């Protein structure tokens, strides 16, 4: 319950960034090799959600996500960068 309350107290942008990072880790640790597809609008550049993750965790981000301690330590950096850009 405490974790849930702490999540609600975060500003919206930080909360979104944290959830995005956690989702990326979840996807990277899946045993099902199927890729997750998302649609981007036509008027936007072809930036993928993984591009944001790669900026912080590097090109081997899927391997980094397997180490939960490392992944969780990178989360704070990602949230700070994402909210300063966004």
**Per-residue model confidence (pLDDT) at position 41:** 62
pLDDT > 90? residue 63: yes
Q: Measured at the alpha carbon of residue 16, what is the angle toward residues 84 and 9, in degrees to the nearest 5? A: 95
When computed from its CA atoms, the radius of gyration of the chain, rounded to whole angstroms, is 14
Write down the domain spans for the chain: 48-86
% the chain with pLDDT above 70: 72
Q: How far is CA 63 from its chain centroid?
A: 14
Q: Identify the pLDDT of residue 73.
A: 92
Mean pLDDT of 46-68: 87
Tell me what the pLDDT averaged over the chain comes to. Answer: 80
The set of residues, in sequence order, having a beta carbon less than 8 Å from that of 72 and lying 6+ positions away, is: none
Most confident of 30-34, 52-56, 64-68, 80-84: 64-68
- Residue 21, Cβ density class (10 Å: 0-12 exposed, 13-18 middle, ≥19 buried): buried
């Amino acid at each position: 319950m405490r974790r849930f309350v702490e999540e609600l107290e975060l500003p919206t942008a930080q909360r979104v960034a944290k959830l995005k990072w956690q989702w990326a880790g979840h996807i990277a640790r899946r045993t099902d090799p199927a890729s997750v597809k998302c649609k981007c609008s036509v008027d936007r550049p072809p930036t993928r959600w993984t591009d944001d993750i790669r900026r912080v965790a590097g090109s081997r981000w899927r391997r980094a996500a397997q180490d939960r301690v490392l992944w969780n330590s990178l989360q704070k950096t990602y949230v700070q960068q994402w909210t300063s850009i966004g």
